Amino acid sequence: MRIRPDRRTRYGLTALLAAALLLSCTNAPHPEPSSAAPVGHPVSPSPASSPPGSPTPSPSLPPRPATSPSSSSAPPPPAPPTGRPSSDTPKPPPTAPATPKPPPAPGTSSSVVRSTASGGRTVALTFDDGPGAATGAVLDLLARYGARATFCVTGRNATAHPAAVKRIRAEGHRLCDHSVNHPQPFAALPRQQQEYEITAAEEMIVGAGGAGTEVAWFRAPGGAFTADNQLIAAQHGLRPLGWSVDPRDWARPGTPAIVATVQRELRPGGVVLLHDAGGDRSQTVAALGRLLPWLIAQGYAFDFPAV
C-alpha cells in the first residue's frame, strides 16, 4: 500500500522528535547512588537527621565547627606591652667606661699651697703677671736686702722678656707658671683650653730661661682654681700656688694701704701676693721698699712656697 506524502512527512517529523528526546535523556546527569534502603523499605529518621525543611549538608564536606559568640573575622588585638624591648628593636651600644685621669706626677700634690716650705717665722713674697716694666726695680730691691722671691710669669711675657727671666734665675729666685695669656675667668674655659694655658706657658718659660730652667708651681689667673685645673697642674709636676695675704696692689689703693694690709694680715709662714706687671706698679715698688726692712726687723726670713 502506498503512503501519501503528507503522512510520510508527519512520520518523519515524529521520528526526529523521538530521536531528540532520546538523545536528551541520554546526556542528562545521573543521580549519585545513595545509601537509602531498598525500595519498599522506608528510611527511619535518625536523631542526627535535619528536621523537615532544613537543607541537608553535602556528605562530601565536613560540618563547619560552631563559632563562639566572641569570635569575629577581625584579627586579634595586639598583646599589651610587657616593658621589654622586642628582639627586633636595636639595643644601644654599651657605654664605654670613662677614661680615668692620670694621677699627679710623683711627689706633686694637687692641693693649693698657701704657706712657705720651711714654716716658722718665714715669708714667701710672690710677684704676678711679669716680667714687666717694674720687674727690674723689684729685683734691685730684693738684691739690696738679700731677699728671695717667686715670680709667677706668663708665657707671653716670658717670651717677650727672656733677659728678665734669665736674671730672675741668676739671682736665686724661683719661677711659677701663670698661664700663657692670663685669660679670665680662667675656670670657665674648657678643660682643653686650661690645659693648653698651663702646659704651653711652662714650655715658653723654660724656653725663655734657657737650659736648666725649672718651674715648680702654677698659679691660676685671678686665683680661679678648680679641682680640675689643680689636677692638670699636678699631672705636669706643678704645685697649685695660692696666697694668704692679698693687699690688692693691682688696684693701686695707695702705697700706705698696701703696706698696712701686709703688716696687719701676715702670719709666720705666710705667702704675700704682689704684682710687677699688668699696669702701673710704682705703688708696689714703693711699698716693697718699706716692707723689706720691716720684715727683717720683725725677724722674718725669706723663703719659697711649699712644693
Q: Label residue 98 by pLDDT band (50, 70, 90).
A: low
Q: Which residues pair with 243 in a beta bridge?
A: none
Q: Looking at residues 120-148, what average pLDDT do you find?
A: 98
Peptide bond into 42 cis (omega under 30): no
Q: What pLDDT does residue 34 have?
A: 41
Q: Is residue 250 predicted with pLDDT exceeding 50?
A: yes
Burial 23-50 (b: 16+ CB within 10 A, else e): eeeeeeeeeeeeeeeeeeeeeeeeeeee
What's the pLDDT band for 107 if we cut at 50, 70, 90? Answer: confident
pLDDT, average across residues 232-237: 98
Which one is catalytic: 129, 275, 276, 303? Answer: 275
Q: Which of 128, 177, 249, 303 is catalytic?
A: 128
Write out the H or E segment, with its range, that includes residue 262: helix 255-265
CATH of 122-302, one of 3.20.20.370, 3.40.605.10, 3.40.630.30, 1.20.120.140: 3.20.20.370
Active site residue 128: yes
Distance of alpha carbon 134 from alpha carbon 175, whole angstroms:
16
- pLDDT at residue 60 greater than cutoff 50: no
What's the grid cell of residue 181? 695669656
- pLDDT at position 105 is 82
Look at residues 229, 209, 205 and name the one whose alpha carbon lies nearest to residue 219.
229
Question: Cβ distance 242 to 267 under 8 Å?
Answer: no
| Per-residue confidence (pLDDT) for residue 50, from 0 to 100 | 41
